[in-house]
Chains A and B, each alone.
Chain A
Amino acid sequence: MELSRRNKLLTGLCVTAAILVGRLFYVQIINDRYKLDSSNNSMLYDVIYPTRGIIYDRNGHILAGNKVAYDILVTPREVTEFDTLALASALDVSPDFIREKMQGYRKRKSRIGYQSVVMMKMLPPERYMKFAELQYKFPGFKGQVRSMREYPFNAGGNLLGYVSEVDEDYMEKHPGEYKPRDYAGKTGLEAAREKDLRGEKGYHILLRNSHNQVQDVYKNGEMDKDAVPGKNIVTTIDAQLQQYGQMLMQNKVGSLVAIEPSTGEILTMVSSPGIDVDVLSNIGEHYTQIVSDPYKPMFNRAVQASYPPGSVFKLINGLIGLEEGVLQPSYTYPCVNGYPYGNGHKLGCHGHRSPLDFEDAVMMSCNGYFCYVFKNILENKKYQNTSEAFDRWREYVTSFGLGEKLGSDFPFELGGNVPTSKYYNKIYGKNGWRFSTVISLSIGQGELGITPLQIANICAILANRGYYYTPHLVKDSEGIEIDSKYHERNYTKVDTNHFKKVINGMWLAVNAPPGTGNTAGAAAVPGLDLCGKTGTAQNPRGADNSVFICFAPRDNPRIAVAAYVENAGFGATWACPIASLLVEKYLTGEIREERKAVESRIMEAYLMSRVKKD
Chain B
Amino acid sequence: MQYDRLYHRDIRKTIDGKLVVCYLLLVLTGLLNIYASVHAMGELTFVNAFESRAMKQLVWMLASVAVAALILLVINPQLWEVISLPSYAIVVMMLVAVIFVGGDIKGSNSWFKLGAVSFQPAEISKITTSLVLAALINRPDFRLSKIRDFIIAAAVIVVPMLIIIAEKETGSALVYLGFVFVLYREGLSGWFLFCITVMILLFILTLTASPYVSALVLCSIVTFCYHLANGKVKRWVLTAVPVIASAAFVPKLFSAAGETSFLSRIQPLWIIIGPVLISLPIKAFKAFRRKSLSAWISIISVVAGILVILSTDFVFNKVLKDHQRSRIEVLLGMKEDPTGVGYNVNQSLIAIGSGGFTGKGYLNGTQTAYGFVPEQSTDFIFCTVGEEWGFVGCVAVIGLYVFLIWGIIRDAEQSRSAFTRVYGYCVASIIFMHLFINVGMTVGLMPVIGIPLPLLSYGGSSLLSFTIMIFIFLALDRQEKRYF
Contact = CB atoms under 8 A, between A and B. Distances in A.
A20 B391 contact: no
Interface in A180-226: 208-212
Interface residues of B, number: 43
A39 B445 contact: no
A21 B398 CA distance: 8
Contacts of B352: 24, 27-28, 34
Interface stretch (B25-33, B256-264, B360-368): B360-368
A331 interface: no
A28 B389 CA distance: 11
Given A13-B405, A35-B354, A6 B185 contact: yes
A33 interface: yes
A605 interface: no
B366 A28 contact: no
A24 to B, nearest CB: 5
Interface residues of A, number: 34
B22 to A, nearest CB: 15
A13 B402 contact: yes
B356 A29 contact: yes
A42 B406 contact: no
A41 B366 CA distance: 7
A36 B367 CA distance: 13
Contacts of A85: none
Given A24-B386, A24-B443, A25-B391, A13 B398 contact: no
B432 A28 contact: no
A27 B355 CA distance: 9
A17 B443 CA distance: 13
A17 B394 CA distance: 11
Contacts of B349: 27, 34
Interface in B327-347: 338, 346-347
Interface string B307-333: 000000000000000000000000000
Nearest to A42: B366
Contacts of A35: 353-354, 356
Interface string B407-422: 0010001000000000
A208 B401 CA distance: 33
Interface in B361-381: 363-367, 369-370, 372
A114 interface: yes
Contacts of B369: 210
Nearest to A24: B394
A384 B221 CA distance: 76
B372 A113 contact: yes
Contact of B367 (A23, A28, A29, A40): A40
Interface in A115-146: none
B370 A113 contact: yes
Interface in A1-38: 5-6, 9-10, 12-14, 16-17, 19-21, 23-25, 27-29, 31, 33-35, 37
Among A9, A35, A209, the most chain B Cβ lie within 10 Å of the Cβ of: A9
Given A13-B406, A17-B402, 4 more contacts: A21-B398, A23-B444, A28-B352, A41-B370
10 contacts: A5-B184, A6-B185, A21-B398, A24-B394, A28-B386, A28-B391, A31-B353, A39-B347, A40-B354, A41-B350
Interface of A: 5-6, 9-10, 12-14, 16-17, 19-21, 23-25, 27-29, 31, 33-35, 37, 39-42, 113-114, 208-212
Q: Which 8 A-B pairs have the closest CB atoms?
A: A34-B353, A42-B366, A210-B369, A28-B391, A27-B353, A23-B443, A34-B350, A24-B394
